[in-house]
Every structure is written in C-alpha cells, then in structure tokens.
Amino acid sequence: VQLQASGGGGLVQTGGSLSLSCAASASGFTLDYYAIGWFRQAPGKERKGVACIYYRHDYTYYAESVKGRFTISGDNAKNTVNLQVTDLKPEDTAVYFCAPVRSTGWGECHLSPLREWSSWGQGTQVTVSS
C-alpha cells in the first residue's frame, strides 16, 4: 500500500495557499485507523515532518515552522488526510509526502514515520516564488 500525495504542482506566490490531499492506493486501508503525518523534503535536505493527525482521537500536532499556517484534517467519507497550507513562504518549497507515523497509546501522534514504512511514493511538489 502506498499513500499518494496530491494537490501540488505549478508555482505559488508568497502568501498563497494550496490544498494537499493524501489517499491510500489500495482499498481496505482506512486512514482514520492510523496516525498519519505530512512530511516535506527540500532539495539537498532531509525529509522532515510538518504535521500529523490521529483522527479517531481528534489529535493534531504541528512543527513550529508551520504552526498557524498549515491545517491537517481527516475526511472519513473520502478516506483522505488533507493539508491546507496557507501564507506560503519560499522556505516551504519542497516535495510533500504523507505516511503513517508513530503514535502513543493515549492517542497522540509524532512527526516520525513508522520504522517499517518504506512506501513513500513520489510526493507532490510545492514551489513558492519569492
């Protein structure tokens, strides 16, 4: 199973917005059962987590760099995890991915992918012009 990120592409001006979506490539993989995170990788840099959601526990967590600008949410009907990105900055330019993340027994998620996760897919490109 892969988690496919979409919604990027093209060039967005500083201050612009985008809606990114994460969907499972196979049926039967119910996203709200898992804690799901969004990650991004800028050219020449390591992949880093930006937001995660543990939908059935109504828990979200954000990296400081995106807090207040990005909003993660789950759509149970569509089986997607979405990332609304607003007030975009050039430093947000990266390929964005989604993946299952580590979680705690009391319903929190962490910006760290599951150790065994390797199906990152191609991600979706977000390019912000200055």
Residues 87-125: pLDDT tens digits?
Answer: 999 999 999 999 999 999 899 999 999 988 888 889 999
Task: Pick the range with the lowest mean pLDDT from 14-18, 20-24, 79-83, 115-119.
Answer: 115-119
pLDDT tens, 49-97?
A: 999 999 888 999 999 999 999 999 999 889 999 999 999 999 999 999 9
Q: Is the distance from CB of 122 to CB of 66 less than 8 angstroms?
A: no
CA 103, 31, 64, 128 dihedral sign is: positive
Instruction: Read off the DSSP letter of residue 57.
Output: G
In whole angstroms, give the CA distance from residue 11 to residue 98: 21
Tallying the residues shown for the chain, one arrives at: 130
pLDDT at 119: 86
In angstroms, the Cα distances linking 13 to 8, 86, 111 are 13, 11, 27
pLDDT at 28: 74
CA atoms within 13 Å, Cβ hemisphere of 111: 17
